[in-house]
Amino acid sequence: MLKRSEVKLEETWDLTDLFENEQQFEEALQEVSEEATAIEAKFKGKITNSTVAVEVITLYKNLSEKLVPIGNYSQLSLSVDQTNDTAQMRAAKVGQLYSKISAQLSFITSELLQLDEETLTETKNKAQDFSHYIDKLIRKKPYQLHPEVEKTLAAFGSIFEAPYELYNTTKLVDMKFENFEVNGKSYPLSYNSFEGDWELETDTDIRRAAFTAFSNKLRDYQHTTAKTYDTHLKIEKTESDLRGFNSIFDSLLFEQQVDKELYDRQIDLITSELAPIMRKYAKLLQKSHGLEKMTFADLKIPLDPSYEPKISIEESRQYMKDGLSVLGKDYQAMLDRAFDERWIDFAQNIGKSTGAFCSSPYGYHPYVLISWTSRMNEVFVLAHELGHAGHFYLANAEQNIFNARPSLYFIEAPSTMNEMLMANHLLSNSNDARFKRWVISTIIARTYYHNFVTHLLEAAYQRKVYEIIDDGGSVNASILNKLKRDVLVDFWGDAVEITEGAELTWMRQPHYYMGLYPYTYSAGLTIATEVSQRILKEGTPAVNDWINVLKAGGTKTPVELAQMAGVDVTTDHPLRNTIQFISSLVDQLEELTAQLEN
C-alpha cells in the first residue's frame, strides 16, 4: 500500500474548492467563532417577538452555511489519511469549535420554543423559507430540555462523538495487517485490500486464507472495539432517557420521521422471506465454483469466476454517463464535472477510510470517496455514491440549508436507484448471455446482497443490541459475537457454513455509530426498485417525478417523498414486490447458467 504522498494527484479529490490554503481555513475558524459570540451577545434572552425571531434565524442560517466547509474540510482531509497527525489535530480542533458554538447558540432553539403558537405562526408568515425549520422545531418541543441542560449537552458534543473517532483510530491507524501466505507465496493485506479485492478473489485457497488472516487481526482488537461501541450506546440511551422518549428506538426513529412499524417490517419481512431466495443463490455459487462446502468467506465471489471485466477510471466515466443518461442532460453534465473537477478520490493508500461514501457540503459540490480496484463491479459502487451526489447537488440548489437534507430513511433511495438504472442500461444494451449473467449476478452480489442482505443482517443484529441497552444492559465482545453469529446462522441456515471469524463482522461497520442506519439501505432500495421499474415502463413522466423528489430535499417526510415517486411505503407491497424481483433475478441466473453450460 502506498502512502498518501505517493499516490497520483489526478486520482485524488481537490479540497481547494473548500479552502485554498491553511491560512484561509484558520481565518474561517476565527470568523465563525466571532460571529457566534456576536449572535449570543445580541440575542440571548431577547427572542420575544416574530421580528427578532426572523432576524436571529437568518443569522443562524448564514453562520450554518459558513460552518459547512470548515467541517467538511477537516473530515474529508482526515478520511483519506487517518495516520496524518495534522489532519487528526485539525479535526479535533474543529470538533471543539463546533461544540463551543453549539453550546453558545443552543439558546436559539430554546427561546424559539418558548414563544407562543401565534408568534411562531407570525414568524413563518414573515419568512416562508423558515416555515419548515420552525415546524421541525415545534415537533421537538415535547423532548426539549431546560435551556441550560441543552447548552451543557451541546458543549459535550465533541465528547459524545469520541467513540466513533476512537473506533476509526483503532481500525485505520492502530490495526496493522501482516502479509498472509498460501502455498509458499506471500500476499499483502489491509482493510481496503480485503474488502475491495480478497473477499472477491476467485482462488478459494487465497480467499479463505485472507479471511482467516483478516479475522485473526480483528479478534486482537475485539474487546477495545466492543468497549468503544458500548460507550456509544450508553450515550444514546442516556440522551433518550433524558429527553423522555419511551425507548431508544423511539428516540432514534424520531429524527427519521418514521414509526417503529416501518422499521420492524423492513427487518422481519426480509429476514423471513428473502432468506430462502439467498440460500438458493448461495447454492448456485457453490455449484458454479465447484466448492465442496459453501462458507461465509465465499459469499461475495462472482458467479462466473473466469469472467470479471476490468475497467479504468476514465472508462468508468462513460459508463456513468451512458447508464444514467435517462436522468437527463443536466445530470450528465454534473457527472462530467465530477470527473473533470476532481470531486472523486479514487486512490488506494495507507490510512484511507474503508468502503465508499459521498459528502455533499451545502453551497459547494459533492465529494466522493472510493478505493478503485479496476473491478467492473466498482461501476455500481461509483454509481451508488454519485446517486448521493446527484441527490444533494439538486436538493442543495433548490432548498435552503435547513430544508435540503431528507430523513435518513430515504437517504439511500437515490444511491441505490442509480445502481438499478445502471443495471437496466447494461442489460438492455447486450444480447450476450454471459455478459447478462454477469450483470444480473452483480446486481444480486453487489446491489441486493450488499444493501438487502449485508445491511439487513446488520440491522437485525443492531436491533438485538439496542433491545439489551434499552433494558438497562451492557454489551461486550462475547455478547456481540454471539448476537452476530446467531443472526447469520438464522438467515443462512444449512446453506452456508458460518466459519470462525464471521461473528466478528460487527467490528467492520461504522454505521453502528450513526443510529438506526443499516436498515435504511433496504428501505431505500425498496423505493429504488419500484421507481426503476416504473421508469422502465413509463419513461419520461416517471423520470420527471424522480427528479422532483430529489429536488424536494427534506421538505417532506420519507413517506411523502416515496408517494411523490409513486410508491406507498405504508404498506408491505413495495417490499414484497422487491423480494419477488430478487427471486426472479436468481431464477434468471439459474436459467442463464444452464444455458451456458449446455
Q: What is the pLDDT of residues 201-214, one digit of tens each?
A: 989 999 999 999 99
With a cut of 90, say whether residue 299 has pLDDT above it: yes
Number of alpha carbons in the 13 Å side-chain half-sphere of residue 135: 15
Stretch among 31-40, 149-158, 179-188, 432-441 having the lowest mean pLDDT: 432-441
pTM, full prediction = 0.89
With a cut of 80, say whether residue 306 has pLDDT above it: no
% of the chain surpassing 90 pLDDT = 86
Q: What is the pLDDT of residue 443?
A: 87
Q: What is the pLDDT of residue 449?
A: 85
pLDDT band at residue 378 under the 50/70/90 scheme: confident
The grid coordinates listed for 172 are: 485505520
Domain spanning 4-160 has what CATH number? Answer: 1.20.140.70
User: What mean pLDDT comes out for the span 318-327?
Assistant: 94
With a cut of 90, say whether residue 439 has pLDDT above it: no
Q: What is the pLDDT of residues 93-109, one digit of tens each?
A: 999 999 999 999 999 99
pLDDT band at residue 305 under the 50/70/90 scheme: confident
CB 292 within 8 A of CB 594: no
With a cut of 90, say whether residue 73 has pLDDT above it: yes
CB 577 within 8 A of CB 530: yes
Q: Specify the residue for cell string 453549539.
A: 102
pLDDT band at residue 506 under the 50/70/90 scheme: very high
Q: Is 183 left (phi over 0), alpha (psi -120 to 50) or beta?
A: left
CA dist 447 and 445 (Å) reads 6
Q: What is the pLDDT of residues 216-256, one digit of tens each?
A: 999 999 999 999 999 999 999 999 999 999 999 999 999 99
With a cut of 90, say whether residue 375 has pLDDT above it: no
Pairing of strands 344-345, 367-369: parallel
DSSP-assigned states of every residue in 123-163: HHHH-GGGHHHHHHHHHHGGG---HHHHHHHHHTHHHHTHH
Cα–Cα nearest to 351, from 190, 164, 575, 535: 190
With a cut of 90, say whether residue 150 has pLDDT above it: yes
With a cut of 90, say whether residue 427 has pLDDT above it: no
User: Domain boundaries in the chain?
Assistant: 4-160
User: What mean pLDDT comes out for the span 72-87?
Assistant: 96
Q: What is the pLDDT of residues 36-69, one digit of tens each?
A: 999 999 999 999 999 999 999 999 999 999 999 9
3-state secondary structure 200-253: HCCCHHHHHHHHHHHHHHHHHCHHHHHHHHHHHHHHHHHHHHHHCCCCHHHHHH
Report the Cα–Cα distance between both ends of the chain, in Å, rounded: 43
Number of other residues whose CB lies within 10 A of the CB of residue 566: 17
Q: What is the pLDDT of residue 598?
A: 81
CB 299 within 8 A of CB 285: yes
The grid coordinates listed for 318 are: 462513460
Q: Specify the residue for cell string 417532506.
A: 556
Distances from the Cα of 135 to the Cα of 51, 131, 551, angstroms: 17, 6, 20
